[in-house]
Amino acid sequence: FLVEKGNHRHFMAKEIYEQPEVVGHTLTQYLDMAAGKVRLPFGDKIDWKGLSRLTIGACGTSYYAGLIAKYWFEKLARLPVEIDVASEFRYREAPLPEQGLALFVSQSGETADTLAGLRYARQNGQAILSVVNVPTSTIARESHAVAQTLAGPEIGVASTKAFVCQLAVFASLALAAARARGTLSAEDEAGHVQNLISLPGLMARALELEPQIEQLSHKLSRAKDVLYLGRGTSFPLALEGALKLKEISYIHAEGYPAGELKHGPIALIDEDMPVIVVAPHDALFEKTASNMQEVAARGGRIILVTDAKGAAECGIEPEATIVMPDMDPTFAPIVYALPIQMIAYQTAVFMGKDVDQPRNLAKSVTVE
């Protein structure tokens, strides 16, 4: 059916702006908000308690959503997770455990490598759960359980709203797993559910940062290379930020775990390379701040995405600071994804690129 751009210049902009709404919509399907509990639409179909391991496979932006989910499943549910891009996983001949669950993430539900990974896992005795945006897709049909993201049709080739909805689903799944595995008290679950409920409002506030980001993008558009850094769940966001910028502006970008800076990328730091640091004031903030200081000491240009406390305590003067609203750090990536997307979008638009149809890329890669 027909999807219109409305008042937006591009589908990507429309989809960025829809995010508070579609995340709210998705969460209503996974939470019993009044009771302060998670309630999965597919009930008790998954035996979280008996699981030995979770294997996650996906491609592109969906893979980065899976990488964030790994941190949540491990920390909240004490569930061991292994994750790989589907194009590697499908050929690796990885041994898969008894009582294992394999989770495949795909906006389209048709990505060839992800589907092949799913079939491999199925043949090797895994229960299959998929997180898809298209419930009639091949990946959904070949799964034992389906967790749908309610992002609505996504037209822009670079995924935005599907990504944050995948994260909202993963947050809910991780909490459900934690409850079933006895690693989360009812009180803590209620606290997390409350935090999830507050996300759409926080996302709406993050969108208000767009004028500042637009200014910033003019400078970024002159860069030849951009480095993105983060730790913990901000590391996959750094990867996603770099991917988005590459995809639509064609500026070379790399995402790195901030702690790996000294093992390579620090050699690249000079006055010409912007370094975008994703660092909410969480338990790892001080570690990331010391990496920022290393970059600053070498004349690097830092763009810091943080909150008020992080801005006050970073110990350097970044070239620009994007100050996000305060929030609990656990599910903060769902909100921090927005400035990351807007940086890429605004830079590409300023450069006159075709953001909805970037060269050489396809929305859905159904052949290998």
Give contact residues for ligand G6P (rule: CB under 6 A). Answer: 59-62, 106-108, 111, 114, 157-159, 361, 363-365
Place of tokens 């639409």: 41
In whole angstroms, give the CA distance from residue 45 to residue 51. 13
Q: How far is the CB of 58 from ligand G6P (least distance, A)?
A: 6
Q: How far is the CB of 227 from ligand G6P (least distance, A)?
A: 21
Other CB atoms closer than 10 Å to residue 73's CB: what's the count?
25
Would you say 155 or 266 has its CB closer to ligand G6P?
A: 155
CA distance 363 to 134: 13
Distance CA 215, CA 199 (A): 26
Q: What sign does the dihedral 184-187-192-197 (CA atoms) show? A: positive
Least distance CB 321 / ligand G6P (angstroms): 29
Instruction: Return d(Cα 202, Cα 220) in angstroms, integer.
Output: 26
* Sign of torsion over alpha carbons 227, 170, 30, 127: positive
For ligand G6P, the nearest residue by Cβ is 60
Q: Give the C-alpha separation, 299 to 293, whole Å.
A: 10
> Min. distance of Cβ 352 from ligand G6P in angstroms?
20
Measured from the CB atom, the residue of 274 and 358 that comes closer to ligand G6P is: 358
Q: Which is nearer to ligand G6P, 123 or 360 (CB)?
A: 360
Active site residues: 363
